[in-house]
């Protein structure tokens, strides 16, 4: 696969699909978590509660009709300042990262980076990281300085899934409160199945990052741990410009952000120039 192979935005990612014999709902091409229909996206902005890693949000989030003070509280890992995700103005761990503008993401050997771009405008709306059979999609949004988005977004996700006849479980992890969702679908051969995704969110200084874990990131703890580490090693560059809360932070074409050079005495003399590194794919 080439460094910048391109696909349609609606190309499927590595969702975890469980076959279930007791589901009789026909597959809805828009599962309630997609940013665009498989047949093609419309131009309407949708919220991160409407998304899976198959497609990216194509605009800002809708403001919920009512929010109480508890919904507006920031939600993030207790050790976020020490272990990320970090704001670009904070002190953060040094490692090799890919610079996508609003997001700077750690790289791993063999990791595939998929850029989810909007057809017509070529805006990069999200990035999906595929590693060891699992995947995580990341998107960043503008947020108020003193208010969080994740609690209200969780409510919207739950409502969307229930409307589609799905099920939602709350999980309490080192990332905070996550949602495990199952949406009834039909496989290509007509069998009843469930589309499974795991949603996490982190409120930072004037930004919110949403992560959607799929594939082995749901079923394999080692794969999940690796992708969580990549997520937590991410740096968010919000910028100083004024933006309405819930607006998407559009990503840019990648450039390498190198870690500080090692002393000459520590440089390896057995580096394999053909050793596999991260692959980058643009999905349209």
Q: What is the mean pLDDT of residues 21-29?
A: 33
Q: Which of 183 and 122 is assigned the larger pLDDT? A: 183
Is residue 119 a part of any domain in this protein? yes
Is residue 68 a part of any domain in this protein? no
Is residue 264 a part of any domain in this protein? no
Is residue 171 a part of any domain in this protein? yes
pLDDT in tens, 70-124: 667 888 888 888 887 999 888 888 889 999 999 999 999 999 999 999 888 888 9
Q: How many domains does the chain have?
A: 1
pLDDT in tens, 220-271: 999 999 999 999 999 999 888 889 989 999 899 887 555 544 444 443 444 3
Domain with 48 in it: 5-60+73-258
CB 73 within 8 A of CB 198: no
The mean pLDDT value of the chain amounts to 75
Is residue 31 a part of any domain in this protein? yes
Q: Tell me what percent of the residues of the chain surpass a pLDDT of 70.
A: 64
């Amino acid at each position: 696969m080439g460094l910048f192979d391109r696909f349609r935005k609606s190309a499927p990612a590595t969702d975890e699909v469980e076959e279930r014999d007791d589901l009789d709902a026909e597959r809805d091409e828009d599962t309630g978590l997609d940013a665009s229909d498989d047949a093609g996206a419309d131009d309407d902005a949708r919220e991160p509660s409407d998304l899976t890693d198959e497609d990216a949000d194509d605009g800002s989030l809708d403001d919920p009709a009512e929010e109480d003070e508890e919904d507006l509280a920031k939600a993030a890992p207790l050790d976020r300042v020490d272990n990320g995700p970090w704001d670009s103005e904070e002190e953060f761990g040094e490692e090799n990262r890919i610079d996508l503008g609003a997001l700077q993401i750690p790289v791993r050997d063999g990791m595939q980076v998929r850029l989810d771009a909007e057809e017509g405008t070529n805006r990069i709306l999200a990035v999906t990281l595929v590693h060891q059979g699992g995947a995580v999609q990341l998107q960043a949004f503008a947020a108020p300085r003193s208010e969080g988005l994740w609690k209200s977004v969780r409510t919207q996700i739950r409502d969307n899934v229930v409307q589609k006849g799905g099920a939602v479980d709350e999980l309490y992890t080192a990332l905070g409160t996550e949602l495990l969702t199952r949406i009834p679908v039909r496989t290509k051969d007509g069998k009843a199945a469930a589309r499974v995704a795991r949603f996490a969110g982190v409120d930072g200084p004037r930004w919110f990052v949403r992560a959607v874990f799929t594939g082995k990131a749901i079923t394999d703890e080692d794969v999940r741990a690796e992708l969580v580490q990549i997520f937590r090693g991410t740096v968010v560059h919000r910028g100083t410009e004024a933006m309405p809360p819930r607006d998407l932070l559009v990503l840019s074409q990648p450039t390498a952000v190198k870690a500080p050079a090692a002393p000459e005495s520590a440089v390896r003399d057995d580096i394999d120039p053909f050793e596999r590194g991260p692959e980058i794919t643009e999905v349209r």
